[in-house]
Amino acid sequence: MSEDTLVDELLAGKHRALARVITKIENRSPGYRDLVSQLHEHTGNAEVIGITGSPGAGKSTLVDKMAATYRERGETVGVIAIDPSSPFTGGAVLGDRIRMGSNVGDMDVFFRSMSARGSLGGLSTATTDAVKALDAFGKDKIIVETVGAGQNEIEIVKTADTVSVLVPPGSGDDIQMLKAGILEIADIFVVNKADMDGADRTVMELQEMIGMRDASPMAGHHGADALADTDDGAVGRGPGDEEGWQPAIVETVAKTGEGIEEFLGTIDEHVGWLSESGELEAQARQRYEAEIKTLLREDTAALLQDELAARGGLEGYIDRVLRKDTDPYTVADELMAPLEDCVAGARDQG
């Protein structure tokens, strides 16, 4: 099947074409970049929701219930679950596990497990492109669930409009770890398994932590309003003041579905705030900037690999460095010189 036909079938709503496109994207198969380029103009309509947090917090169960609830509302859903990479094949270790139990057989819930491939935050470069494919396909909601490997999951900011961080009850140590990174990216904190002992204490610890951050001169983009209890199960919900969004704290019991409606309502409020404040466009600009820089780094690295191969590899250069005949900076300058000359020549001609 030609790439043009594949794109046409994806845009026509054929799930098999969607699956084939994402497979090409994940495998970085020949022609995948042309596919993504053709899909780009059809993107920008889906809401992208990131779900992250420590292992055992119940992310997969929560995502399952989210998808089921969205379907009850008549909305279509795409789910990308980033799983740990196999050290032998690079494939998703948990990719064949049975997940999304509530939505089995529902063609309007498209689930795909992808390999983290060891990238920062468990998000492969392919994730952004897979989200574009789901968006162009016409999915209303796209949920990206990460492996939950620690504070490096700030990488999810590059993909999601709304970032939700799950925190299990009684996880005081985990909350202390959050201060180092994930705290800065959370639009919504979800205390899942809220029927367990320690849930109330966890909510209080999160409130204190957010309050301390907001009082800091280094406070992030969320704003500095004081937290306030609400009557609908969310704490600290809302856009806060003119400085930004005030992170919400929502309690859920994903296994029974308790609190899911409130959680999705908070997501809706955040998306509304993004649109009204202009932050949605600002996020898009930041996302495309990061994506372009990432692609430039990848392409430049590939060019350098080709140049190295043409020169017989690095071993000879390393030998010269060891003999003190040259140094690493000079080697780098020498290898970069032809690329720099090509760029300068193209710039002069342009």
Please write the tens of the pLDDT for every residue from 308-322.
Answer: 999 899 999 999 999
Lowest mean pLDDT among 38-42, 196-200, 309-313: 196-200
DSSP code string of 87-119: TTT-SBTTTTS---GGGTT-TTEEEEEEE-TT-
Residues 168 and 218 in one domain: yes
| Mean pLDDT of the region 218-239 | 44
Q: Give the total number of structural domains in the chain.
A: 2
Residues 162 and 305 in one domain: no
* Average model confidence (pLDDT) across the chain: 81
Contact 38, 7 (CB under 8 A): yes
Joined tokens for residue 36: 């993504």
Residues 337 and 217 in one domain: no
Residues 340 and 231 in one domain: no
Strand partners, 188: 164, 248
User: Is residue 23 a part of any domain in this protein?
Assistant: no
Percent residues over pLDDT 90 in the chain? 45
| Mean pLDDT of the region 133-138 | 97
User: Is residue 15 a part of any domain in this protein?
Assistant: no
User: Is residue 24 a part of any domain in this protein?
Assistant: no
User: Is residue 188 a part of any domain in this protein?
Assistant: yes
Whole-number Cα distances in Å, 293 to 3, 27, 188, 215, 269: 26, 21, 28, 33, 31
User: Is residue 167 a part of any domain in this protein?
Assistant: yes
Residues 175 and 255 in one domain: yes
Full residue range of the structural domain in which residue 207 is found: 44-277
Lowest mean pLDDT among 125-134, 183-192, 282-291, 322-331: 183-192
The Cα 72–Cα 75 span in angstroms is 7
Contact 95, 116 (CB under 8 A): no
Identity (one letter) of the amino acid at 212? Answer: M
Q: Which residues contact 246 (CB under 8 A, 6 or more apart)?
A: 222, 223, 225, 227, 236, 237, 238, 239, 240
CATH of the domain at 161: 3.40.50.300
The Cα 314–Cα 331 span in angstroms is 10
- Of residues 101 and 58, more confidence is placed in 58
| Mean pLDDT of the region 128-147 | 94
Joined tokens for residue 212: 């301390």
Residues 226 and 339 in one domain: no
Residues 121 and 195 in one domain: yes
Q: Please, what is the angle between helix 125-137 and helix 32-40, to 10°?
A: 50
- Of residues 229 and 23, more confidence is placed in 23
Q: Which residues contact 81 (CB under 8 A, 6 or more apart)?
A: 60, 63, 99, 111, 112, 113, 114, 145
Whether 278 has a pLDDT exceeding 90, the answer reads: yes
Half-sphere exposure of 348 (CA within 13 A, CB side): 6
Whether 53 has a pLDDT exceeding 70, the answer reads: yes
User: Is residue 12 a part of any domain in this protein?
Assistant: no
- Of residues 168 and 238, more confidence is placed in 168
Q: 220, 252, 277 — which closes off a domain?
A: 277
Kindly report the number of other CB atoms within 10 A of residue 45's CB atom: 10
pLDDT at 226: 33
Q: 256, 277, 298 — which closes off a domain?
A: 277
Contact 220, 24 (CB under 8 A): no
Express each pLDDT in 238-262 by its tens digit: 555 456 888 999 999 989 999 999 9
0.75 exceeded by pTM = yes
